[in-house]
Chains A and B, each alone.
Chain A
Amino acid sequence: MTDTLSPETLENAGIAHGLYRDGEAIADTKAPKVEVQDRWRTRQFEAALVNPANRRKLTVIVVGSGLAGGAASATLGEAGYNVKTFCYQDSPRRAHSIAAQGGINAAKNYKEDGDSVYRLFYDTVKGGDFRSRESNVYRLAEVSASIIDQCVAQGVPFAREYGGLLDNRSFGGVQVSRTFYARGQTGQQLLIGAYQALERQVAAGSVEMHTRHEMLELVVVDGRARGVIVRDMVTGEVETHLADAVVLASGGYGNVFYLSTNAMGCNVTATWRAHRKGAYFSNPCYTQIHPTCIPVSGEHQSKLTLMSESLRNDGRIWVPKNREDCDKDPREIKEEDRDYYLERIYPAFGNLVPRDIASRQAKNVCDEGRGVGPVVGDFRRGVYLDFAEVIGRQGQAWVAEKYGNLFDMYQRITGENPYEVPMRIYPAVHYTMGGLWVDYDLQSSIPGLFVAGEANFSDHGANRLGASALMQGLADGYFVLPNTIRDYLSHGPYPTVTETHDDVVAAKTSVDDRLRTLLSINGERTVDSFHKELGHVMWEYCGMERSETGLLKAIDLIRGLKDEFWRNVRVLGAADTLNQSLEKAGRVADLIELGELMCIDALHRRESCGGHFREESQTEEGEALRDDVNFAYVAAWEFGGDDGAPVLHKEDLVFDYVHLKQRSYK
């Protein structure tokens, strides 16, 4: 081992530079203190009930209509609460959950290959590099099986075997077949299931759906979340909506990197505004880099496209052994001149190593100058994902049946036929494991504000295993949140708040002021140019590999960018109309602030962990070196004010069941 940091040498750069302050420790107090397998059942029993007649007197606002928000809205509507759901798209069916391709995990053990709730729990804690909570992860594994039942009953057309039963496949990072899938469109099919359940409640009158509405502020009254300020993106009207509780299920913030696999509209505003109102933001620097994306082709590119990780089940990943072969036709490179580097370094897992490892090794071989494809920047950023062997063994028809739509998509984007020439892939920003801090009830540090799905931080630790995002979104939305929020609601209805309350007026006024300011700057740079510059800084210094020097530089650059943004951005048009530049401007302003916090979080965490590799913390072999002595905690950041430094609260992570050990896939 090299360069392990003793506590004495942890003279922290962040504190030394006044970038943050230490705050009091925090803890999750809601998980019952019983054996891990009994915690969820105990909590469900202990959580107070709300009598059906009282439910209709209670209103819940849900922001976001993806798997978590859509499922939560539908389920709360079925239960009899008044639900008001908001999404920025023109229909809840378009939430970005729809783009997930590969599948959804569930501990059904339909293959009798040794799977169990405990194994799914174990794999997830270990895969997350011991930076998630045991209680939450166990519950996730426990309810996973019910998700499949629910979705099948809704008519989700999962893949089936000839006997009529559901088919399963294995997925990156695991050795059992626990992944349920619907060709390469699992996310779409699951989302449509939740969307149909949601529309059923819309028709029943229990859910009021507000599409093309964007949350721009959280309303906090007497310390409790009581509503949201939203903008009708068609008329521009700024509206106030009040409720007994607010649920944020607004997704992740990967678009801070500009180029990512996220939809163009994905943004951090809902959670960032809540953060500024007092909700702690946890582990913001935990970004997942997905190993199997179509490589970047040029400067104009607006987004990256992911290829399902399931491709790694049958494709073999390699690069030429010799640099001089990199520009050759791959079919002409002899077998002995190919380096199947994952199979070589990790013989037990081979091409199925977890995402962070697959991503980093791809970067390493490209950094060595053995990448393939066009030169972007100063080197080739791509590795081969080759199906020649499986096509030889099983035939092209077999491969087409399993992955046909992915192959077609690849061909459309790159103009190359992957049945004949190996695909090229490269890592890209995909999912963010950080998010608002929540307790076992999914309640944030603001009472009455609940956070579900990718928007919270809790279940994936520092690295998310494949096919787990869909599982968490639906677990939170269908099963967890509706059970835990009732405990909070059982104490309601909360004192009536009207639109004339000072705190409500102040929240609305701040939104109006901000919109007016953005429109009045009339500078010389477009919103997108700021976004691209931010993304470049984030990828360069807070991406797959980080260092103290790089992060300090990034913080300076981001502060400069923020300053320039508010002096020099150009947003045309008016506030009272459909104005897409104005929408983007508000989101990019928030992404800039988040970017700074991500860098501060990355700076203070002087260990390599999950999806991020810290230069100062590596083994002699160059593998990521976690530091459990100093960093086995959740970093929960409190907003320190516009001029103040953020405050770091630590929640210690305790591992009673899955014992802390260095991950090894060799």
Chain B
Amino acid sequence: MNRNVFITSVLLAFFACFPVLFSNPYWIGVLNDIWLYAILGLSLNWVVGHTGLFNLGHAAYYAVGAYTAAIISTHFNIPILWLIPVAGFTAGLFALVVARPIIHLRGDYLAIVTIGVGEIVRIALENDIFGITGGSNGIFGIPRPEIFDMRIRRPWQFYYLIGGFLLITIWFFYRLEQSRFGRALNYIKEDETAAEGSGINTAWYKLAAFVIGAVWAGMAGTLFAAKMSTVSPGSFVFWESVLIFAIVILGGAGSIPGVILGAFLLVGLPEFFRNFADARMLFFGAAMVLMMIFRSRGLLPPLTRKYAGVSRAGGGDA
């Protein structure tokens, strides 16, 4: 464990100093994207990795959060960072309404329905639903965020803003993993029937997990809207959901370091291959297939699984 603490501290120190050491705004921008996708990945990890629900429409909740923040901040001139909880609440409420009737569906059915929900949300945004989403152009001119009278507009400023939120995210999901709630979810994922049998209200837990993931995605949406100062339906297409899903699965579903590594690989690595821009997605697809064949639990799978393996194989020697 001590080694892990050491590695974590070194990494933290390195990334805390990164903008000072390397003032190249391009690479800071890339890291900002990585942080944002790490936050999204961790939020989906709570649904896919911990609860075993195939959500292939996570971008929908991200979109609801981003649009909520964008609409309120442009119409009522409210500083966008204050809207983080509001956007989280809206996305969570939306997830609650959508997921309540469908949460009992079996894995694949749930996957296709969540894809459907994601597409419906995107089409609704494109069709300027309620006349407030701006159609296919989206919403632009979102005021820049401010912290203590400092206007956030440079990449390094966003670096600390989004990076700070990522740290909160890591802390939150780490605590949640350790909680009674987190343990119940793992139990449901391992064996739903046994969990139900031992008195766990599985439907309630699954719904709660789904909503928590959506709330967090909605909050990440606010950061996205603040960073881009514009939102449009093109940012919330199905492939966005697939990318977030792939970050979770390839990094290691259920593992916080795994998901962060996944964000680095899937968002950061392609930047090194800019010259092959057209073929990038080809490699991306092939990598997904190969990973599943050779390392299906991801690059950094969670450690706790070992315990389950021991008790299953050993029978009574726990």
A and B from one complex = no
Contacts from B to A (Cβ < 8 Å): none
